[in-house]
C-alpha cells in the first residue's frame, strides 16, 4: 500500500486513493459501511487490474481508512460526491462500478449521476435502502430523534454506530420503491449464507433496475463478505466477462 495518494476536495478534505492507469472502462471499487480500500476484494481487484493493464481506482471515503474527516459526519450524499469528484479527476471515459454491501447502494447513486459514462455495475451483497429494512421501529424512532444507534459488530470488538445524520440522508436516498433509471449491464453476487443482507434483496434490486442485461449469482455457502478465495475468483471472473461497451442510461 505504498502507492496511496491524496485528492484534496473543497473544504480541505483529503481523500486517500490508489490509481492504476490502463485501458478502460475504469474499475472503481466502492467499499461498504466503515470499510476501506485495504479489504481483500478491493486489493485483489486492483492487483488483477494492474496485471491486465486495466484502469482501476480504489478510495477511502472521508472519515474512513486513510482519508481525513470524522466518520460521524459521513453520509451517502457526501461520499457520492467524493467518488464523483475523484472519478472526474482521475478516470476519463467510461466507468464500471463495483460496490460491496453499502457500496452497492452507493454505486446506484454514483451510477445515476454518471449517466452515459456508466459502462457496467457489479454488486457484492448490495445493500440498498438498509436504513429502512435494516432497523427495527424502536431504532428508527431513536434515529429520528437524533440519537446514535449502536449494534453488535460480528467482525470486530467495537460496536457499529449509526449516526442520525447518516440515517436521515440515507432515508432520502432510498431507491428500491421505484424504477432505477440505469440501463447498463449489471451483475449481482450474493451469498445465501449472508446474515447481514438478505440475498432476496439482490433479486428485488434486479427487478427495479431498468436494464435488461442483469445476472444474479447466488453462492449457496457464501457469507456476507464473499471474501474466500473462491468468492474473489468469482468476482474477478465476473468483472473480466463484462461486455466492454458504454451504457445508455
Q: Are the beta carbons of 35 and 63 closer than 8 angstroms?
A: no
Q: Are the beta carbons of 118 and 184 closer than 8 angstroms?
A: yes
Give me 95's grid cell.
466507468
Q: Are the beta carbons of 43 and 98 closer than 8 angstroms?
A: no
Which of these is catalytic: 60, 129, 169, 194? 194
Q: Are the beta carbons of 119 and 187 closer than 8 angstroms?
A: no
Residue 194 annotated to the active site = yes
Q: Are the beta carbons of 17 and 6 closer than 8 angstroms?
A: yes
* C-alpha 77: how far from chain center: 13
C-alpha 27/C-alpha 97 separation (Å) is 6
C-alpha 157/C-alpha 89 separation (Å) is 37
Place of cell 450524499: 77
Q: Are the beta carbons of 60 and 74 closer than 8 angstroms?
A: no
Which of these is catalytic: 55, 101, 131, 249? 101
Which residues face 52 on adjacent strands? none
Give me 51's grid cell.
496485471
Residue 40 annotated to the active site = no
Q: Are the beta carbons of 210 and 79 closer than 8 angstroms?
A: no
Residue 168 annotated to the active site = no
Which of these is catalytic: 211, 224, 247, 249? 224
- What residues act catalytically? 101, 194, 224
Amino acid at each position: 500500500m505504498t502507492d496511496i495518494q491524496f485528492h484534496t476536495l473543497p473544504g480541505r478534505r483529503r481523500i486517500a486513493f490508489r490509481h492504476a492507469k490502463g485501458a478502460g472502462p475504469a474499475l472503481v471499487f466502492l467499499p461498504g459501511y466503515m470499510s476501506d480500500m485495504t479489504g481483500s476484494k478491493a486489493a485483489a481487484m486492483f492487483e488483477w487490474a494492474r496485471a491486465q493493464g486495466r484502469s482501476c481506482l480504489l478510495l477511502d471515503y472521508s472519515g474512513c481508512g486513510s482519508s481525513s474527516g470524522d466518520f460521524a459526519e459521513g453520509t451517502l450524499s457526501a461520499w457520492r460526491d467524493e467518488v464523483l469528484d475523484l472519478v472526474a479527476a482521475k478516470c476519463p471515459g467510461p466507468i464500471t462500478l463495483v460496490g460491496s454491501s453499502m457500496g452497492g447502494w452507493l454505486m446506484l447513486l454514483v451510477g445515476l449521476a454518471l449517466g452515459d459514462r456508466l459502462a457496467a455495475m457489479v454488486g457484492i451483497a448490495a445493500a440498498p435502502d438498509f436504513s429502512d429494512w435494516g432497523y427495527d421501529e424502536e431504532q428508527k424512532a431513536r434515529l429520528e430523534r437524533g440519537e446514535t444507534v449502536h449494534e453488535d459488530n460480528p467482525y470486530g470488538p467495537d460496536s457499529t454506530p449509526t449516526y442520525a445524520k447518516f440515517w436521515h440522508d440515507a432515508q432520502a436516498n432510498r431507491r428500491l420503491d421505484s424504477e432505477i433509471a440505469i440501463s447498463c449491464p449489471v451483475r449481482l453476487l450474493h451469498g445465501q449464507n449472508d446474515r447481514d443482507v438478505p440475498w432476496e434483496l439482490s433479486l428485488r434490486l434486479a427487478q427495479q433496475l431498468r436494464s435488461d442485461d442483469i445476472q444474479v449469482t447466488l453462492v449457496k455457502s457464501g457469507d456476507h463478505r464473499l471474501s474466500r478465495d473462491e468468492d474473489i475468483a468469482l468476482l474477478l471472473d465476473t468483472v473480466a466477462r463484462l461486455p466492454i461497451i458504454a451504457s445508455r442510461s
